[in-house]
Amino acid sequence: MLRIFNHEILAPDNFVVTVELVPGRESTGRTTDTILGIAKDAFADGRVCAVTMTDNPGGNPSLSPDVLGYEIFKQGLDVIVHFTCRDMNRVGMESRALQLARMGMKNILALTGDYTGKGFGGQGTPVFDLDSTILCSMLKSLSSKLAASGDPDDFFTGCAVSPFKTTEAECYAQYNKLNRKIEAGASFVITQLGYDAKKFQELMTHHKKNKNYRIPVIGSAYLLSPRSARAMNSGKVPGAYLPDDLYKKVMREWETPKQGLKSAIERTAKLGVILKGLGYRGIHIGGVHKSFKTVGAILDRMDVIQDSWQDFLHEYNHSHEKTYYMFPKQKIEADSNSVKHDLKSKLFDLLPYTILNAAHDLFFNKKSFMAPLFKKIAGMIDQNGKSWLLKYLLEDPVKILLLSCRSCGDCGIQHVAFQCPESRCPKHTRNGPCGGSREGYCEVHPDKLCIWVRAYTRLQYGKATGNFIQKAVPPRNWALNKTSSWINFHLERDHQK
């Protein structure tokens, strides 16, 4: 068994090919046999550097990527395991990481994960104890522990990013989170799905501007079938964006299946060479569920057309009509004119933000001259066993009214422009958005704005976008659940100590 992906992708002149495989809801049978067949042919072909194995995609149960991936890995083909935060708490996640290390499978794609789907008996519990940024940190820390115990072979952790966001707030939040994930230990990046070359270019420009040259980016290219096109167009694939015009075109092409497949291969190959031309360090091919022949055909075609990649750019301009682009105006900082604040948003969003911001500055600022006094008072209340009284009589009424507080005892509102990540974000993100928002709205509750879009709007209003997450926020400490976060803050028991 040989790990080659990490070496191949880090070699500056290489353009790697990875293929996404999707285990099904079965331990043996047709899907499993097909996956193993694709992997076997990929290995024999020699152009695919690694396959990636999805982790309960869509939040629905499927065969473990670890076990199926290991079968492939043992045959000699390198494997990147998708590792989401949805189904296990931090204890289970660390245990899984150790198991993967023991198996030698240390290429990990760290993902927050789609929201939870249906398993035995109905909808499952959404865990989201950690987020993808913290997962990157955890794997980095585990690598050091493994090294100390005599295993010099690190985890090679990657992360995902979606440049295909349509609003300024989403773009800013996505790229900000990407920087945090890289700081936390991500060593490569794979994009979400989209068909807008300008957005692919935007990501690379952002990457260079942030001096992230050393972190290679792989672009996703998906072989569109009528089924996948329908799901993406209707928003059923979180983070993927397929606009109406392209959707209609794909459906027309597939009226004759032979023509449909030919067009899908051509579209994927053209996107592949565009990615190469734009400086991506690889292509991640998805949507191949039947045979490796399709991947072979895409790669063959790429060889033929690679020098003409600029001729195809005009075919990849599929964006939402109001799509925000970060760089045509070279704009990465806040533009105070770009978000309109109506009376409703001023009253129900910006006013509470202003009040909470001021209150936080007054009562929860460790640099304030009042901080030692607050610490003393908190210590006295705590020593007298009266924290619960403060919590039930004052803290809970205020925070439940203003924030729908869930009383986690390790308050993270200040990281999300004074919104509660426990009550307002279904994935409890503390380090930036998941990839699932769509036109600014939440993947899970499409009638509500993503909290990170609201955070950006609030910070922009307060001319404080520089206060957007600047370093990774630790996960909440469950030992503090249902205790007073005010006391915990002043007595330095929470994540801000």
Cβ proximity to ligand SF4: between 21 and 451 the closer is 451
Residue 160 engages ligand SF4 in binding (rule: CB under 6 A): no
In sequence order, the β-bridge partners of residue 107 are: 156
- The three-state (H, E, C) secondary structure of the chain, written as one string: CCCCHHHHHHCCCCCEEEEEECCCCCCCCHHHHHHHHHHHHHHHHCCCCEEEECCCHHHCCCCCHHHHHHHHHHHCCEEEEEEECCCCCHHHHHHHHHHHHHHCCCEEEEECCCCCCEECCEECCCCCCCCHHHHHHHHHHHHHHHHHCCCCCCCEEEEEECCCCCCHHHHHHHHHHHHHHHHHCCCEEEECCCCEHHHHHHHHHHHHHCCCCCCCEEEEEECCCHHHHHHHHCCCCCCCCCCHHHHHHHHHHCCCHHHHHHHHHHHHHHHHHHHHHCCCCEEEEECCCCCHHHHHHHHHHHHHHHHHHHHHHHHCECCCCCCCCCCCCCCCCCCCCCCCCCHHHHHHHHHHHHHHHHHHHHHCCCCCCCHHHHHHHHHHHHHCCCHHHHHHHHHHHHHHHHHCCCCCCCCCHHHHCCCCHHHHCCCCCCCCCCCCCECCECCCCCCCECHHHHHHHHHHHCCCHHHCCCCCCCCCCHHHCCCCHHHHHHCCCCCCC
Smallest gap from Cβ 246 to ligand SF4, in A, equals 23
Residue 146 engages ligand SF4 in binding (rule: CB under 6 A): no
Rg (CA), the chain: 24
Q: How many other C-beta atoms lie within 10 A of the C-beta of residue 236? A: 11
Q: Which of 206, 443, 484, 486 binds ligand SF4 (CB under 6 A)?
A: 443
> Would strands 282-286 and 16-21 be described as parallel, antiparallel, or unpaired?
parallel
Residue 451 engages ligand SF4 in binding (rule: CB under 6 A): yes
Q: Which of 164, 312, 452, 456 binds ligand SF4 (CB under 6 A)?
A: 452
Q: Which of 277, 433, 440, 475 binds ligand SF4 (CB under 6 A)?
A: 433
Q: Which stretch binds ligand SF4 (CB under 6 A): 253-261, 331-339, 354-362, 433-441?
A: 433-441
Q: Which of 233, 319, 357, 437 binds ligand SF4 (CB under 6 A)?
A: 437
Q: Are 400 and 437 in contact (CB under 8 A)?
A: no
Cβ proximity to ligand SF4: between 219 and 436 the closer is 436
Cβ proximity to ligand SF4: between 197 and 450 the closer is 450
Per-residue binding letters, 387-426, with ligand SF4 (x by CB under 6 A): --------------------------------------xx
Per-residue binding letters, 67-96, with ligand SF4 (x by CB under 6 A): ------------------------------
Smallest gap from Cβ 174 to ligand SF4, in A, equals 10
Smallest gap from Cβ 335 to ligand SF4, in A, equals 22
Smallest gap from Cβ 449 to ligand SF4, in A, equals 8
Cβ proximity to ligand SF4: between 131 and 410 the closer is 131
Cβ proximity to ligand SF4: between 391 and 424 the closer is 424
Q: Which of 97, 110, 413, 450 binds ligand SF4 (CB under 6 A)?
A: 450
Q: Which of 161, 444, 480, 487 binds ligand SF4 (CB under 6 A)?
A: 444
Smallest gap from Cβ 305 to ligand SF4, in A, equals 37
Q: Which stretch binds ligand SF4 (CB under 6 A): 87-95, 102-110, 270-278, 435-443?
A: 435-443
Smallest gap from Cβ 445 to ligand SF4, in A, equals 7
| Count of residues in contact with ligand SF4, rule CB under 6 A | 14
Q: Which of residues 262-301 bind ligand SF4 (CB under 6 A)?
A: none
Q: Which two tokens stand for residue 82?
A: 């998708």
* CA–CA distance, 79 with 101 (Å, rounded to integer): 13
Smallest gap from Cβ 416 to ligand SF4, in A, equals 9
Q: Which stretch binds ligand SF4 (CB under 6 A): 255-263, 314-322, 343-351, 447-455?
A: 447-455
Q: Which two tokens stand for residue 249?
A: 């075109």
Cβ proximity to ligand SF4: between 164 and 452 the closer is 452
Q: Which of 221, 264, 434, 455 binds ligand SF4 (CB under 6 A)?
A: 434
Q: Which of 107, 201, 429, 483 binds ligand SF4 (CB under 6 A)?
A: 429
Which parts of this chain interact with ligand SF4 (CB under 6 A)? Answer: 425-427, 429, 433-434, 436-437, 442-444, 450-452
